[in-house]
Amino acid sequence: MSTPSTAEKPQTPLGALVMAGQGQTDAEAITDTIFMVKDISNAYLVTTADGDLLVNTGFLGNGARNKGLFAPHRTGALKRIIVTQAHPDHYGALPDQQEPGTEVITGVNFVDTEDYFDRLGPFLGIRSGKLWASMTRRDGPPPKPPRIIPDRMVETVHAFEQGGRKFEVVKTPGGETLCSVFVWMPEEKTIFTGNLFGPVWRSMPNLVTMRGDRPRLVRAYLQSLEHVRSLQPELVITGHGDPIRGADTIRANLDQMHAAVTYIERETIAGMNAGRHVQDLMREIILPEDIRIGEFHGKTSWVVRAIWEENAGWFHYEDGTTALYGVPRPAVYPDLVELAGGAGALAARAHVHAAAGRPLEALHLLDIALGVAPDHEAALTIKKAALEQLLARSGGTNLSETMWLKAEIADAEKRLPAA
């Protein structure tokens, strides 16, 4: 996996986790028999008295590297590979690590999820490229994910014993895909959650991603969390980062995550019933300090909107009649620009908003101006400044927000005439 330049490296906590495997020269020992290779999503080796198994394999193109890092710790044949979800960062390196006789285990609907990403490949690829290109690109776009046909797809629970160690592969109602599973080792109180709760532990889930994906339902997320909490694990091994140790710490973290998302759902539903608009609630719902969790992948405001859309659907009454039809607001942008006296007039008013610390109001006007005059220099200059205000305000905490704003700034810079 190539290393982005210093300028490209994301500085968010999630970005640091995603890039943590750069320069790794040996698998890290979590216990005497569990080893971790850090990748875009981590891969885990579990050794037993009767051969080994993997939980996830890492990103496509990194199979040889990951296999080599695990090699010194291997104890026998690779009996099983368990994939916690059908995202290529979890299974892309599988073909390079699978051995003759290795059983591939996933959740039910794994193939359906693969089909979904294949059918929407061009659409999702463009969107993902804008957000993640600097993190996943080698010398050009990444290769097409491999097609995996599981030997077993788990509908509820698949329990097995290997080398005297007990394992359960448990299908979850929630997770980042409809096929998500976790791996539970009951006698050792150890659980591999993958990205069941998102890529960063004790942080806000991203129920509807910016790149696009099938929505993750809030009640399914909460039910999955409740299931994991009921097991009382003493070691949690996630899709990214270091494991979480200690039953009391894990329980407190899960309680806080549950309380945060439950609070957002309750307040969003209350706002909907009170006739509040979704944008109002996105601004106004703020977590109490004692249940506040990180916003590295999802954000409180985005969870509010996801819950609204899950319950209300795509039609917002405040959008009015035109939302029912196929003529978008940009169809009348030329009329607005003409009535305003040209793109320059809108850019000037946008500058007033930006100078007063109102970058979003500025961007609303600039979208109209640039929708008609896409190369208008003053509008592009003000847009870049407004976006830079938003980036500074964000603190670079949320990876998707950060990468989006940086991509938009770069686009504005590219369209400006050379100095």
Q: Could you give the CA distance from residue 358 to residue 50 in angstroms, rounded to a whole number? A: 63
Q: Write 299-303 long-range contacts (CB < 8 A, 24+).
A: 299/204, 299/398, 299/401, 300/204, 300/264, 302/204, 302/206, 302/207, 302/208, 303/204, 303/205, 303/207, 303/218, 303/261, 303/264
Mapping DSSP to helix (H, G, I), strand (E, B) and coil, where does residue 22 land?
Answer: coil
Q: Are strands 244-245 and 181-185 parallel, antiparallel or unpaired?
A: unpaired
Mapping DSSP to helix (H, G, I), strand (E, B) and coil, where does residue 104 land?
Answer: strand
Question: For residue 92, what pLDDT is reported?
Answer: 94
When the pLDDT of each residue in the chain is averaged and rounded to a whole number, the result is 91
* 19-33, 124-138, 154-168, 392-406: least confidently modelled range: 124-138
Mapping DSSP to helix (H, G, I), strand (E, B) and coil, where does residue 115 land?
Answer: helix
pLDDT in tens, 78-133: 999 999 999 999 999 999 999 999 999 999 999 999 999 899 888 888 888 888 76
Question: For residue 394, what pLDDT is reported?
Answer: 93
State the pLDDT confidence band at 211, using cuts at 50, 70 and 90: confident
Q: Could you give the CA distance from residue 236 to residue 201 in angstroms, rounded to a whole number? A: 10
Residue 49: phi and psi, rounded to 5, are: -70, -10
Task: Give yes or no for a contact between 225 and 257, defined as CB atoms under 8 angstroms apart.
Answer: yes
State the pLDDT confidence band at 405, using cuts at 50, 70 and 90: very high
State the pLDDT confidence band at 12, using cuts at 50, 70 and 90: low
pTM of the predicted model as reported, rounded to 2 decimal places: 0.90
pLDDT in tens, 95-104: 999 999 999 9
Residue 105: phi and psi, rounded to 5, are: -120, 130
Q: Write 114-118 long-range contacts (CB < 8 A, 24+).
A: 114/86, 114/145, 114/147, 114/148, 116/214, 117/86, 117/88, 117/145
Beta strands in 67-200 (DSSP E): 78-82, 103-107, 152-154, 157-162, 165-171, 181-185, 190-194
- The percentage of the chain sitting over the pLDDT mark of 90, rounded to a whole number, equals 80
- Specify whether the backbone of 341 is left (phi greater than 0), alpha (psi in -120 to 50) or beta: left
Nearest to 220 by CA among 156, 157, 173, 155: 173
Residue environment code for 245-283, b if the CB has 16+ CB neighbours within 10 A, otherwise e? eeeeebeebbebbbbbbebbbebbeebbeeebebeebbe
State the pLDDT confidence band at 6, using cuts at 50, 70 and 90: very low
pLDDT in tens, 305-314: 999 999 999 9
Contacts with 288 (C-beta within 8 Å, 6 or more apart), sequence order: 263
pLDDT in tens, 334-393: 999 999 999 999 999 999 999 999 999 999 999 999 999 999 999 999 999 999 999 999
Task: Give yes or no for a contact between 78 and 99, defined as CB atoms under 8 angstroms apart.
Answer: yes
Question: For residue 215, what pLDDT is reported?
Answer: 74
Q: Which fold has domain 13-121+142-202+234-241?
A: Metallo-beta-lactamase; Chain A (3.60.15)
Q: What is the mean pLDDT of residues 280-297?
A: 96
Q: What is the mean pLDDT of residues 326-336?
A: 96
Of 21 and 176, the structure prediction assigns the larger pLDDT to: 176
**Which residues, in sequence order, are bridge partners of residue 168?**
159, 184
pLDDT at 2 over 60: no
Question: For residue 9, what pLDDT is reported?
Answer: 44
Q: Where are the domains of the chain?
A: 13-121+142-202+234-241, 328-415
DSSP 129-163: HHHHHHHH-BSBSPPPPPP---SEEESSEEEEEET
Write out the two tokens for 215.
């929505």
